[in-house]
Amino acid sequence: MLGYFGPPGTFTHQALLTFSDAPAKPYATVSGALDAVRSGEVEAALVPIENSVEGGVSVTLDSLSNGHRLMIIREVLLPVQFSLYGRPGTTLASVRKVLTHPHAAAQCRDWLAANLPAALVTEGGSTAAAAAEVADPSSRYDAAVCADVAGEMYGLQKLAGGIADNEAAVTRFVLVAPPGKPPQPTGADKTTLVAYMFADHPGALLEILEQFAGRGVNLCRIESRPTKTGLGDYCFSIDAEGHLRDPRLAEAMLGLHRICKMVVFLGSYPRADGVRPDVARGFADEDFLDAREWYNTLVQPSGD
Amino acid sequence: MLGYFGPPGTFTHQALLTFSDAPAKPYATVSGALDAVRSGEVEAALVPIENSVEGGVSVTLDSLSNGHRLMIIREVLLPVQFSLYGRPGTTLASVRKVLTHPHAAAQCRDWLAANLPAALVTEGGSTAAAAAEVADPSSRYDAAVCADVAGEMYGLQKLAGGIADNEAAVTRFVLVAPPGKPPQPTGADKTTLVAYMFADHPGALLEILEQFAGRGVNLCRIESRPTKTGLGDYCFSIDAEGHLRDPRLAEAMLGLHRICKMVVFLGSYPRADGVRPDVARGFADEDFLDAREWYNTLVQPSGD
Amino acid sequence: MLGYFGPPGTFTHQALLTFSDAPAKPYATVSGALDAVRSGEVEAALVPIENSVEGGVSVTLDSLSNGHRLMIIREVLLPVQFSLYGRPGTTLASVRKVLTHPHAAAQCRDWLAANLPAALVTEGGSTAAAAAEVADPSSRYDAAVCADVAGEMYGLQKLAGGIADNEAAVTRFVLVAPPGKPPQPTGADKTTLVAYMFADHPGALLEILEQFAGRGVNLCRIESRPTKTGLGDYCFSIDAEGHLRDPRLAEAMLGLHRICKMVVFLGSYPRADGVRPDVARGFADEDFLDAREWYNTLVQPSGD
Amino acid sequence: MLGYFGPPGTFTHQALLTFSDAPAKPYATVSGALDAVRSGEVEAALVPIENSVEGGVSVTLDSLSNGHRLMIIREVLLPVQFSLYGRPGTTLASVRKVLTHPHAAAQCRDWLAANLPAALVTEGGSTAAAAAEVADPSSRYDAAVCADVAGEMYGLQKLAGGIADNEAAVTRFVLVAPPGKPPQPTGADKTTLVAYMFADHPGALLEILEQFAGRGVNLCRIESRPTKTGLGDYCFSIDAEGHLRDPRLAEAMLGLHRICKMVVFLGSYPRADGVRPDVARGFADEDFLDAREWYNTLVQPSGD
């Protein structure tokens, strides 16, 4: 069985339904979902990892890097679509108190300011929980900003749709499993990892980036994350183009391992957008093979 | 008058009291405090910008970069100290529902799991608001994780102190004013800026870092922030050692301006820790002056 | 009066005639010609600096870097054309002993091996001197490899023309004057300099190159030259695209001055081939001006 | 049998005698000696490759890179010691015409200018040949600048000793054999190679250097050499610290092969000075092994 960051009706739930309609188990927190993978309670769990408005989802990035190792085996992209839902009979004009999740509040800030300037917006644990709370007739909240699936699930009435300020917003989810052999390379893969610098080494990030740039590997995402020991002590959460078995990425990983305090490999998996990398001259798989063959003839000339 | 991210009793309030005991005005949100500076309602406002556990404070980083330009003129560091407060008469054993801010919840996660494994932790808007809510006898919450100043302000009883998981945790606050001439260099300064890359330019971060490294400027903090237009489109929020008037930093800023889509300067101000940079051979102020004098003799030999 | 690396009839003489037919004074050595500029005996002197077969002309590179400073004010390119000349009456078949300059011998090696396999080739001080020697009826040499101007000047008979192995070979000459204000920028200029590294600094060359690359300045030529104190102690003789007054080159020169033990500026002058540089985004003159204006508004906001 | 750049009495001959007193065959030119190795006429040949005054010996660098591949298997360092020799009966004061090799002339320039200001210095093919010529009673030359071994071999009389301007000058020789398996690593090795850039690629040298720097490999010597096709078209002759079998050098060679038009490997051999490299953190052999083991556990977790 799969797990996901719930409750039912969250965007993560919607994302899960795009590739599986088997029964799945919701968890109240991202950490809870990941711990369920670690304990074997579920085979794998879907959690949000990156949001085009808020950036990386801190709790996911941190839960993945800490604790027993896990491995990302799939990614899913979902357009962000928010609506405003109230109890049946509510009108937009009568809304005074809105409940939602902080990311949803941030992504609808302009719409709320323009259309409900007087309303008080409260931020709770999830948009689905907000819909559930609003559905309770004794609730002090009039409306919830949530996904349509949640509004409908709790029998609410849609007061306004498409209220996200940025219509191009997308959320990225990852399916996380216990560590194992990564899926086969497809030619359009992504690799996720966390690199911990040695302390007090100002040029460390530059060196980390050079490990990739020097092997022709582009990065899709890089975020500094504090390592929780003091201000200014950071690690880097990175998505790189390519698969652990691609020679250019393999060499970059080997290089990182040598210069970093620690590298946590979080998986190589097919890209949801299927985009294949532009590989510069000298960095294709054949180039690595050719170089290796040439090297072998130098070290061990034929006939010797 | 100064403003701050309130309500009274927040850590930001405590940080403000370390350098000013004049009356100050609390704002419910960081954006609200910064907008009050922009509108002239307050002279300057103190807001949290970086937390050694959670990393950069997203809403502050984003509110500073967007909207009318503002300028950081001072920084304050405050050790993080959390306690658990309940209404008088409450015992630790009886606590079932805890209210706090998400960052506080994250920083006390281990303590809460060990000492209140059965308690439900709800995350609200601020630790001070949590204390105020708990002080209401009709509240559904039994206890708040908050600063001592907030617990005392609302007449609560301390159930446990020093409950932060990491005793070395520190929060960094900045005093933000309207744009103007930066404070004079002190020799131990920090400069904050946001660099926006040109889109689809994979090596951009490397080039940005080289602008600093190539002039001997170390970075204290670098964080990617999404630019809210699509996944993978990032800007970088950076704290660099040195002052806008230091020649090595000046040249790095000029270099950044040339290669970036946009650079937002957010201020040069004295470091709270007073640490002076180790300046490598060739990058001291005199080295820049010497080089300039030498250049002048080449372009315009004396007597010409 | 101008001087040149003679005697009359050398390629340098030919190069001089491409831009001046005023009487000029030949010097037997490159050092002699340059010393005559230093002493004021001539206004300027033309000497060879780079050869597409042999590379940099060591004696010129070294004489320019050592001693009182000089300045290159012009460059001239001349296709390399060698012929074989003998005394009147000599036939190609009868040639047993050939005299020439080592560079000429190197550039005609294949032709000589194919056409005069049994001939002994001796290397002397210049191709013009070789022609003069062969013209002496008592000479032990039968033929000279030299320029046509030399063969004709000494009344010799051409035995074979166009004997250089590489028809595209070009020699580059520079006109060297006392130090002064460099000629005005033309938009298609070249700058020559010598950079001395600090000893025992393995990454020095990388840092030197980054001074140029980081400002968008391409190099036309870079050669290591020993500094004559021990094996492995090198300086770098460099031709860079652009003029000392171009802001990107100016900044690179300032950067070099800071990180190097010494930088010797040897002139900014129009390129003989008139090629204008491809300037990457962010490195045009306007980009430097824009950045400076932006910086000024930060340091000194208007109205202050 | 070994060959060497002769005639007997050259410095190369002296260098050969430091490690072998078996009969050896002199060749009049460096190219001749190397071609004798290629044809199998001798097993290996000793030739000069680098001089602390003149830099790389062009003819050796070029003869090694062109033609059938050869391999350096040993290096020898020899302090440069020049003397002035004349026919018996000659006095220093009577010397009017001096014969020597251009490198010797360059290295004794100051001494000759100070002690024989009126003498005419002629440059011939080798210092030993100069001694032989001077020994001929009918010679037009009075004295030769040469090694003591040559002066003595031809029965000349020493007029002055220790006349090199720079007493620390050293010449480096290499023993060149047909290609084969390189000698075993000793921990203090050097690797010689030539890297050819793709044309019209301005940043190529920077990229070449980064292949070494990025793997913690220092360079002992780097020289640009024209590729003989046009001005500005260069390859780079490089000596790097380490052995082809050292993992950091192996990876640098593989990287070079990928980004260069061509790489010519000229041998890995023990350093004459026995200096072991300072290997930075992350670049030792164990670091490469550790990284590889870690990578293997990711690609193929145990039990799979």
Q: What is the model's pLDDT at position B166?
A: 79
Q: What is the model's pLDDT at position B109?
A: 83
All residues of chain B having their beta carbon less than 8 Å from the beta carbon of residue A226 are 51-55
Q: What is the model's pLDDT at position D109?
A: 83
Q: Do B259 and C244 touch (CB under 8 A)?
A: no
C145 and C174 co-located in one domain: no
D247 Cβ under 8 Å from any chain A Cβ: no
Q: If you ran DSSP here, which 8-state letter would residue A260 be given?
A: S
Does B touch C (3+ CB pairs < 8 Å)?
A: yes
Residue A154 has pLDDT above 90, yes or no: yes
At B129, the amino acid letter reads A
Nearest CA in chain B to C210: B214
B300 and B219 co-located in one domain: yes
pLDDT mean across residues, chain A: 89
Q: What is the model's pLDDT at position D230?
A: 59
**For testing the chain D interface, which of A262, A298, A304 should be mutated: the one with the most D CBs within 10 Å?**
A298
Residue D304 has pLDDT above 60, yes or no: no
All residues of chain B having their beta carbon less than 8 Å from the beta carbon of residue C70 are none
Length, in residues, of chain A:
304
Which percentage of chain C shows pLDDT scores above 90? 57
Q: What is the model's pLDDT at position A26?
A: 95
Residue B108 to residue D57: CA distance in whole angstroms = 70
B64 and B92 co-located in one domain: no
How far off is chain C from D298, nearest CA to CA, in Å?
Answer: 34
Q: Do C52 and D202 touch (CB under 8 A)?
A: no
C119 Cβ under 8 Å from any chain D Cβ: no
Query: Mean pLDDT lowest for which of A254-258, C179-183, D141-145, D221-225?
Result: D221-225
Q: What is the model's pLDDT at position A86?
A: 97
Q: Do D250 and A295 touch (CB under 8 A)?
A: yes
C142 and C105 co-located in one domain: yes
B136 and B232 co-located in one domain: no
Which percentage of chain C shows pLDDT scores above 70? 94
D70 and D97 co-located in one domain: no
pLDDT band at C203 (very low <50, low <70, confident <90, very high): confident
All residues of chain D having their beta carbon less than 8 Å from the beta carbon of residue C231 are 50, 52, 77, 170, 172, 221
Q: What is the model's pLDDT at position A200?
A: 57
D186 and D196 co-located in one domain: yes
Residue that the structure tokens 């040249």 belong to = B251
Nearest CA in chain C to B300: C181
Provide the CATH number for the domain around residue A132: 3.40.190.10
Tens of pLDDT along C5-49?
988 888 899 999 999 999 999 998 888 899 999 999 999 999 999
To the nearest 10°, the Cα dihedral for A115, A117, A119, A122? Answer: 90
Tens of pLDDT along B6-58?
888 888 999 999 999 999 999 988 888 999 999 999 999 999 998 766 667 77
**Is the residue at A39 inside a domain?**
no
How far off is chain A from D67, nearest CA to CA, in Å?
Answer: 17
pLDDT band at C229 (very low <50, low <70, confident <90, very high): low
Tens of pLDDT along A48-57?
998 766 667 7
Residue B84 has pLDDT above 70, yes or no: yes
Q: Which range of residues forms the domain containing residue D286?
A: 181-304
Tens of pLDDT along A276-303?
988 888 999 999 999 999 999 999 887 5
Q: Do D258 and A282 touch (CB under 8 A)?
A: yes
Residue D235 to residue D228: CA distance in whole angstroms = 10
Give the largest CA-CA distance in chain A.
89
Q: Do B223 and A222 touch (CB under 8 A)?
A: no
pLDDT band at A109 (very low <50, low <70, confident <90, very high): confident
Does A touch C (3+ CB pairs < 8 Å)?
A: no
Secondary structure class of C204 (helix, strand, coil): helix
Region C50-55 average pLDDT: 70
pLDDT band at A201 (very low <50, low <70, confident <90, very high): low
**Is the residue at A123 inside a domain?**
yes
Residue D30 to residue D46: CA distance in whole angstroms = 9
Q: What is the model's pLDDT at position A66?
A: 79
**Is the residue at A279 inside a domain?**
yes
Q: What is the model's pLDDT at position D177?
A: 97
Q: What is the model's pLDDT at position C169?
A: 77
A88 and A195 co-located in one domain: no
Residue B121 to residue B142: CA distance in whole angstroms = 10
A185 and A304 co-located in one domain: yes
**For testing the chain C interface, which of D228, D233, D248 should be mutated: the one with the most C CBs within 10 Å?**
D228
How far off is chain A from D45, nearest CA to CA, in Å?
Answer: 21
All residues of chain B having their beta carbon less than 8 Å from the beta carbon of residue A218 are 202
**Is the residue at A132 inside a domain?**
yes
Region D72-83 average pLDDT: 93
Q: Which residues is A172 bridged to in the sheet?
A: A50, A77
Region D60-74 average pLDDT: 88
All residues of chain C having their beta carbon less than 8 Å from the beta carbon of residue D168 are 229-230
To the nearest 10°, the Cα dihedral for B266, B269, B271, B277? Answer: 90
Among partner residues A52, A125, A225, which is closest to B226 by beta-carbon distance? A52
pLDDT band at B65 (very low <50, low <70, confident <90, very high): confident
Higher pLDDT, B159 or D228: B159
All residues of chain B having their beta carbon less than 8 Å from the beta carbon of residue C283 are 258
A250 Cβ under 8 Å from any chain D Cβ: yes
Number of compact structural domains in chain A: 2
Secondary structure class of C190 (helix, strand, coil): strand
**Is the residue at D118 inside a domain?**
yes
B251 Cβ under 8 Å from any chain C Cβ: yes
Q: What is the model's pLDDT at position B200?
A: 58
How far off is chain C from B156, nearest CA to CA, in Å?
Answer: 48
Residue B272 has pLDDT above 90, yes or no: yes
Among partner residues B52, B230, B232, which is closest to A226 by beta-carbon distance? B52
How far off is chain B from A156, nearest CA to CA, in Å?
Answer: 24
Highest mean pLDDT among A58-72, A201-215, D182-196: D182-196
**Is the residue at D157 inside a domain?**
no
How far off is chain D from C297, nearest CA to CA, in Å?
Answer: 34
- Predicted TM-score (pTM) of this structure: 0.83
Highest mean pLDDT among A115-124, C30-39, C197-206, D224-233: C30-39
Higher pLDDT, A159 or D31: A159
Region B133-159 average pLDDT: 93
pLDDT band at C232 (very low <50, low <70, confident <90, very high): low
Nearest CA in chain A to D248: A255
Q: Do D257 and A300 touch (CB under 8 A)?
A: no
Provide the CATH number for the domain around residue C245: 3.30.70.260
B40 and B172 co-located in one domain: yes
pLDDT band at D219 (very low <50, low <70, confident <90, very high): confident
Highest mean pLDDT among A59-63, C106-110, D31-35: D31-35
pLDDT mean across residues, chain D: 89
**Is the residue at A93 inside a domain?**
yes
Q: Do C223 and D218 touch (CB under 8 A)?
A: no
Q: What is the model's pLDDT at position B201?
A: 62
**For testing the chain D interface, which of C139, C228, C241 should be mutated: the one with the most D CBs within 10 Å?**
C228
Region A165-172 average pLDDT: 82
**For testing the chain B interface, which of A54, A218, A231 should be mutated: the one with the most B CBs within 10 Å?**
A231
Higher pLDDT, A177 or C171: A177
Which percentage of chain B shows pLDDT scores above 70? 94
C174 and C39 co-located in one domain: yes
How far off is chain A from B299, nearest CA to CA, in Å?
Answer: 35
Residue D272 has pLDDT above 90, yes or no: yes
Region C223-244 average pLDDT: 80
Partner B, chain A 162-201, Cβ-Cβ below 8 Å: 166, 168-170, 172
All residues of chain B having their beta carbon less than 8 Å from the beta carbon of residue A242 are none
pLDDT band at C62 (very low <50, low <70, confident <90, very high): confident
Residue B1 has pLDDT above 60, yes or no: yes
Residue D202 has pLDDT above 70, yes or no: no
Q: What is the model's pLDDT at position D55?
A: 65
B171 and B186 co-located in one domain: no
Q: What is the model's pLDDT at position A224?
A: 79
**Is the residue at D226 inside a domain?**
yes
Does B touch D (3+ CB pairs < 8 Å)?
A: no
* DSSP letters spanning C108-147: THHHHHHH-TTPEEEE-S-HHHHHHHHHSTT-S--EEEE-
Nearest to C178 by CA among C40, C271, C14: C40
Is the Cβ–Cβ distance between A185 and A243 less than 8 Å? yes
C-D CB pairs within 8 A amount to 99
Which percentage of chain A shows pLDDT scores above 70? 94
Query: Mean pLDDT lowest for which of A161-170, C133-142, C279-288?
Result: A161-170
Last residue of a domain, one of B130, B150, B180: B180
Distances (CA, A) of C237 to C221, C222, C273, D200: 8, 6, 20, 20
Tens of pLDDT along B168-196?
778 899 999 999 999 999 999 999 999 99
Tens of pLDDT along D235-260?
888 999 999 999 999 999 999 999 99
Is the Cβ–Cβ distance between D130 and D100 less than 8 Å? yes
Nearest CA in chain D to A258: D282
Query: Mean pLDDT lowest for which of B199-208, C103-112, D16-25?
Result: B199-208
Q: Do B58 and A53 touch (CB under 8 A)?
A: no
How far off is chain A from D217, nearest CA to CA, in Å?
Answer: 14
Last residue of a domain, one of C180, C213, C238: C180
pLDDT band at B228 (very low <50, low <70, confident <90, very high): low
Residue D167 has pLDDT above 80, yes or no: no
